[in-house]
């Protein structure tokens, strides 16, 4: 079911449940071609979350900064294409939340093991900040933290579970957000891990 979180954000509980095998298969194909890797922040810190991408561009970070680029720096080849069924699911989640015509070029895949976390940040590397971001969660549950438009201030927490989709657009697109350290656990589908997929339209 669809739960509005704010004026521009919706949480679709269990959106992926009927599609988990397909989505896990699509992710396995991407990871076989462009493996998960721990990126380094511009400040030189290794991120605890491992990442890869599919689509015509991917998000990368290194000492030079954060950016989107068409070539995977690890393989020096283009990122794997976005699987058509994954794209269709992302567009369905966006449309269900009131965002028609969502055309993501990027699918960023985040892999968390227990202890991995994502500090409070804004997603603002996209030149188009009017398109929403669609996120899919698989495997172990995680505490997602969302705040306001400044780093300091009140935050709210929701537990994102296996199969959930969240769509962030409108005024909520630039909220600060992060993920608390993943708790120890074992999930029937992902094992000792959480996978989060975000779909982004950069232009």
Closest residue by Cα to residue 106 from 76, 144, 74, 80: 80
* Angle of CA points 91, 95, 97, to nearest 5°: 120
Residue 86 CB coordination number (10 Å): 24
The residue range among 10-18, 35-43, 151-159, 166-174 that interacts with ligand MD3, by the rule CB under 6 A, is: 166-174
List the one residue from 86, 87, 106, 133 that touches ligand MD3 (CB under 6 A). 133
Closest residue by Cα to residue 59 from 202, 166, 203, 194: 202
HEC string of 129-155?
A: CCCCEEEEEEECCEEEEECCCCCCCCC
Write the binding mask 100 to 119 for ligand MD3: x where contact by CB under 6 A, - elsewhere.
Answer: --------x-x-------x-
The residue range among 10-18, 21-29, 165-173, 180-188 that interacts with ligand MD3, by the rule CB under 6 A, is: 165-173
Q: 40 Cβ partners below 8 Å, 6+ apart?
A: 46, 47, 61, 62, 63
Decide whether 76 or 165 has the Cβ nearer to ligand MD3. 165
Can residue 39 be called a binding residue for ligand MD3 (CB under 6 A)? no
The residues pairing with 110 across neighbouring beta strands, listed in sequence order, are 51, 196
Can residue 165 be called a binding residue for ligand MD3 (CB under 6 A)? no
User: Measured between alpha carbons, how far is residue 9 from residues 93, 135, 157, 165 in Å?
Assistant: 11, 11, 14, 11
Q: Binds 193, which of Fe ion, ligand MD3, none (CB < 5 to 8 A, cut-off by type)?
A: none
67 annotated binding-site participant: yes
Q: Compute the least distance from the CB of residue 173 to ligand MD3, in Å.
A: 5
Decide whether 83 or 112 has the Cβ nearer to ligand MD3. 112
Q: Which residues bind ligand MD3 (CB under 6 A)?
A: 108, 110, 118, 123, 133, 135, 144, 146, 166, 168, 172-173, 175, 177, 179, 196, 198
């Amino acid at each position: 079911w669809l739960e509005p979180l704010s004026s521009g954000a919706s949480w679709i509980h269990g959106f992926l449940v009927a599609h988990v095998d397909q989505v896990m298969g699509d992710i396995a194909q991407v990871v076989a071609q462009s493996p998960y890797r721990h990126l380094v922040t511009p400040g030189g810190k290794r991120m605890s979350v491992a990442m890869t991408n599919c689509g015509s561009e991917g998000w990368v970070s290194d000492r030079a900064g954060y950016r989107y680029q068409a070539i995977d720096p690890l393989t020096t080849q283009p990122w794997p294409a976005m699987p058509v069924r994954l794209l269709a699911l992302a567009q369905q989640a966006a449309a269900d939340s009131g965002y028609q015509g969502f055309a993501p070029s990027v699918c960023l895949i985040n892999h968390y093991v227990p202890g991995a976390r994502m500090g409070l940040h804004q997603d603002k590397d996209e030149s188009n900040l009017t398109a929403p971001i669609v996120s899919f969660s698989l495997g172990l549950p995680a505490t997602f933290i969302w705040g306001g438009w400044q780093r300091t201030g009140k935050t709210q927490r929701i537990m994102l579970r296996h199969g959930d989709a969240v769509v962030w657009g409108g005024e909520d697109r630039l909220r600060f957000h992060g993920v608390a350290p993943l708790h120890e656990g074992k999930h029937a589908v992902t094992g000792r891990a959480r996978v989060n997929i975000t779909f982004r339209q950069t232009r």
